[in-house]
Amino acid sequence: MLNPFFNDRERRLRAFWRLLLQSIISSVLWYAASASFALVGRAAFGGGAVENPLASPFFLATGGVVTLVVALFVVWLAGRFFDRRPFSGFGFRINEEWWLDFGFGLFLGALLITGVFLVELAAGWVAVTGALQATNGGASFFPTILAPLVLFVCVGIYEELVSRGYQLKNMAEGLNFPRVGPKRAVVLAWVLSSSLFGLLHLWNPSATLVSTINIAFAGLLLGAGYVLTGQLAIPIGLHITWNFFQGNVFGFPVSGLEPVGATVLSTEQGGPPLFTGGVFGPEAGLLGIATMVLGILLTWLWVQARSGKATLQASLAEPPTATMVRANTTTD
């Protein structure tokens, strides 16, 4: 009988247990860091209850950095002891092509959200009420705008590292049964990890069933660059500018969260929520879905133009080679 816990041929835990242990360790460390961070926040705000400590630009940026450090450590730890894989195997084989894809991702996120803003502006669904303003009304635009920028850089890295780099890859490996095959396993993992990504946003402010489905679709957009290249460059770049332009350039809510820090443009949202997403932001509207479909198409065209062939990376469903296992064991 097959060992349900350990893969003797690959000399490591099976995919389900790798994913479960990584999630448990990540949750424990994240909650510990959050509790410590909350204590520091209460002390900094006079020892009383703090309604929203992250309204402070300092805590906003620091919270993102702390979460990023936790994610990097947990994925390294899981890779070292559970996956038997070097950190670079999670989508960080950084070279000239990686940086080129990262630049495309940055451009694509900015382009897509700018398109959403221009369509809503032309339809009369959004009105510009100001420019270069801090959200608390009393601070200067500079350097307040740097806080959300730092936050979204951190969010783009750690969410893509965990959701795509770790979860999608391990799901693909676990689903790569003989009757499924590596490419079908990658597609299944792409859909499953995106669905989980949507569910994790279910507790965001103003979240609904529709917004959860739309965020799952956003997971497909973010995962497209990963399943086509095997690297996290496009997803990270896209995630950073998608969030930053959505919230702190055009003043839209980001997954139900109001912009914090400062915005380049201050806006008032109107129009039909079915199309605009209403208080949750563009990610919950039909316009957002259309933009995500366009983004997947543009990602495919970019990979096709850069490499001459855009196809699913079957290697995402393959375990690390014996050589990689030995190198990871002796060098990490």
Q: How far is CA 97 from the centre of its chain?
A: 21
Residue 52 reports pLDDT greater than 60: no
Residue 165 exposed, middle or buried by CB count within 10 Å (0-12, 13-18, 19+):
buried
Q: For a pLDDT cut of 90, what percent of the chain falls above it?
A: 76
What integer pLDDT is reported at residue 45 of this predicted model? 57
Percent of the chain exceeding pLDDT 70 equals 91
Say if residue 110's pLDDT is above 80.
yes
- DSSP, collapsed to helix, strand or coil, labels residue 254 as strand
Tokens coding 303: 């990979």
pLDDT at 167 over 80: yes
From the list 64, 294, 262, the residue with the least C-alpha distance to 157 is 64
pLDDT of res. 326: 43
More confident position, 203 or 244: 244
The tens digit of pLDDT for each residue in 256-278 reads 999 988 999 999 999 999 999 99
- CA proximity to 91, closest of 302, 233, 237: 233
- In this structure, what token pair is assigned to residue 213? 């489905």
pLDDT at 37: 73
Do 223 and 232 meet the contact criterion of CB atoms below 8 Å apart?
no
Contact between 259 and 253 (Cβ < 8 Å): yes
Instruction: For residue range 198-223, list pLDDT tens digits in order.
Output: 999 998 999 999 999 999 999 999 99
User: What is the reported pTM?
Assistant: 0.92
What pLDDT does 325 receive?
A: 47
Instruction: Using only the alpha carbons of the chain, give its radius of gyration.
Output: 21
Q: CB neighbours (10 Å) of residue 19?
A: 20
Count how many Cα atoms sit within 13 Å of the Cα of residue 200 in the half-sphere of its side chain.
13
Q: Does the pLDDT value for residue 47 go beyond 60?
A: no
Q: Determine the Cα–Cα distance for residues 308 and 302; give it in Å rounded to an integer.
A: 9
